[in-house]
Amino acid sequence: MSLTAPRFLSRRQIALGLIAASQVAATPVIPPKSPVVTVLGDSITAGLGLPARDAMPAQLQVALQRMNVFAKVRAAGVSGDTSGGGLARVNFSIAPDTALCVVALGGNDLLQGVEPRVTKANLRSIMQSLRNRRIRAVLVGIAAPPLIGGSYARDFNAIYPALAKEFAAPLYPNLLAGVGGSRQLMQGDGIHPNAAGARLIGQKLAPLVAQALRTARTT
């Protein structure tokens, strides 16, 4: 025992210890052979502007764990990706061990004014590719604001329910529901969620993903 060692910890040491302990407690412990959920998406899935632990895929994994649903959530987001970009890489971005793919694309199509029929065709091809590989899918939509044009918004918003019905896939209608437009939940660019927003998205998406995983096990 060192005679020079302090008898009591300083306040700073205690604070650092508490922070470290909370971070360890917040890190999900995933049992071996847990199913893999891969999130195919754009900058929101990639966690633009956030540490990986605060991004939506990591927060989805935390939310699932709190529901006693253990899965490894893998981020496969590329900033700037359109539905066409997702289609171009779906076969190599989605690893063979994936049990469930969360398809969350379309936001950049919306920002770039891609024709809804093109977006729909790309997303349909992605869903078909997953089906061919026997990978179940959850489809996540994004809502087009009416101000971009009534007919465009109507046609774009119709994409996701139609494809969900066609492929009998669970649908989360709007990725940014309850988050978009909130200064408390969005980064300064008004496009990407901050850590609190990503956490809320993960929490809201988790029940649908959990149900899809349960269904996958019984089929």
Tell me the pLDDT band of 28, cut-offs 50, 70 and 90. low
Residue 7 is assigned to a structural domain of this protein: no
Predicted confidence (pLDDT) at residue 4 exceeds the cutoff of 70 = no
Residue 23 belongs to a domain: no
Per-residue confidence band for 89, with pLDDT thresholds at 50, 70 and 90: very high
Q: Is residue 35 a contact partner of residue 100, using CB atoms and an 8 Å limit?
A: yes
Higher-pLDDT residue of 126, 11: 126
What 3-state class would DSSP assign to 45?
A: helix
Q: How confident is the model at residue 72 (pLDDT cuts 50, 70, 90)?
A: very high
What percentage of the chain reaches a pLDDT higher than 70? 86
Q: Rounded to whole angstroms, how far apart are CA atoms 191 and 199?
A: 16
Helix (H) or strand (E) holding 17: helix 11-26
Does 112 reside within a domain? yes
Active-site annotation holder among 43, 54, 83, 93: 43
Angle between helices 159-166 and 116-132 (to 10 degrees): 20
213, part of any domain: yes
Residue 16 lies in a domain: no
pLDDT at residue 22 is higher than 70:
no
Note if 189 is an active site residue.
yes
Domain contains 13: no
Q: Are 174 and 136 in contact (CB under 8 A)?
A: no
* Total residues belonging to the chain: 219
Position 32 pLDDT exceeds 70: yes
Q: Quick one: which H or E segment has residue 119?
A: helix 116-132
Residue 10: pLDDT band with limits 50, 70, 90: low
Band of pLDDT at residue 219, cut at 50, 70 and 90: low
Here the CATH number for the domain that contains residue 116 is: 3.40.50.1110
- Does 17 map to a domain? no
Rounded to whole angstroms, what are the CA distances from 122 to 51, 105, 163?
A: 30, 10, 11
Q: Average pLDDT over the chain, rounded to whole?
A: 89
Q: Is the dihedral of CA 71, 72, 76, 79 positive or negative?
A: positive
What does the pLDDT look like over 129-161, one tens digit per residue?
Answer: 999 999 999 999 999 987 888 899 999 999 999
Confidence of residue 202 (pLDDT cuts 50, 70, 90): very high
The domain tally of the chain equals 1
Tell whether 186 is covered by a domain. Answer: yes
Residue with more model confidence, 196 or 27: 196
> What residue numbers bound the domain in which 125 lies?
32-218
User: Which DSSP symbol is given to 143?
Assistant: P
- Token pair, residue 189, equals 């660019």
Backbone Cα Rg of the chain: 20
pLDDT at 146: 78
Per-residue pLDDT of 50-68, as tens digits, reads: 999 999 999 999 999 999 9
Measured distance CA(166)–CA(124) in Å, rounded: 9
